[in-house]
Amino acid sequence: MRNAFHEQLDGIFDDLATICGQVEVAVARATRALLEADSSLAEQVISDDAEIDHAREKVEDSALSLLSLQAPVAGDLRVVVSALRMVSDLERMGDLSVHVAKISRLRTPGYAVPDAARPTIARMAEIAEEMVGRTAEIIRTRDIEAADQLRAADDEMDQLRRQTFADLLAKDWQHGVEAAVDLALLGRYYERIADHAVSVASRVVFVVTGETPS
């Protein structure tokens, strides 16, 4: 009975890693739609989010079933509860990708990001996608050292976020209020994707060690 229970727990973590992979694709496609003004790709990101929502519901159902039928305690309970919190973070990351895609769709056939800000946004997107990919691997392997290292990438993301504000508040900003609002929102969306990735990785550390990273 306990072997079957732990197989179910492992299955939940496999599902979490799969969802994280779906989020990684969503981030990459939303960014491409944004930087290439590709409205059809933006639409795909928006419509595909339903698959992430459905996968989240599957994980929640599995975790709640284990809670009600198996009444786990101690370490097992920690794993189930952490999985419920992790899947919420992952779904939110997917939602943030949709927000990026919607900005892209709103501005096409034009570009939402002015040329001067494209390097900053492109780098933020690159970091976000990389962090999501690394998070999927952390979930699969439960590698707490890799989870700790994820914070370094988040530090760069925070610096870039501050740079977006410096750009749009500069005296030589010539792209208007609309572009400034878009840039502020995009910076926030990518920063939050990174924050959620760190949150998921921290929950993996908690699952393995029983301690929450400071």
What integer pLDDT is reported at residue 198 of this predicted model?
96
Is residue 63 in some structural domain? yes
Query: Dihedrals φ, ψ of 192, to 5°?
Result: -70, -35
Q: Are 133 and 153 in contact (CB under 8 A)?
A: no
Residue pointed to by tokens 């929450």: 212
pLDDT band of residue 71 (cuts 50, 70, 90) is low
| 102: CATH | 1.20.58.220
Give the count of domains, the chain: 1
Is residue 1 predicted with pLDDT exceeding 60? no
Is residue 43 in some structural domain? yes
Is residue 31 in some structural domain? yes
Is residue 214 in some structural domain? no
What integer pLDDT is reported at residue 171 of this predicted model?
82
* Nearest Cα to Cα of residue 140 among 5, 16, 8, 4: 16
Average pLDDT, the chain: 91
What integer pLDDT is reported at residue 72 of this predicted model?
67
Is residue 142 in some structural domain? yes
Read off the pTM: 0.93
User: Domain range for residue 193?
Assistant: 2-209
CA separation for the pair 99, 189 (Å, rounded): 7
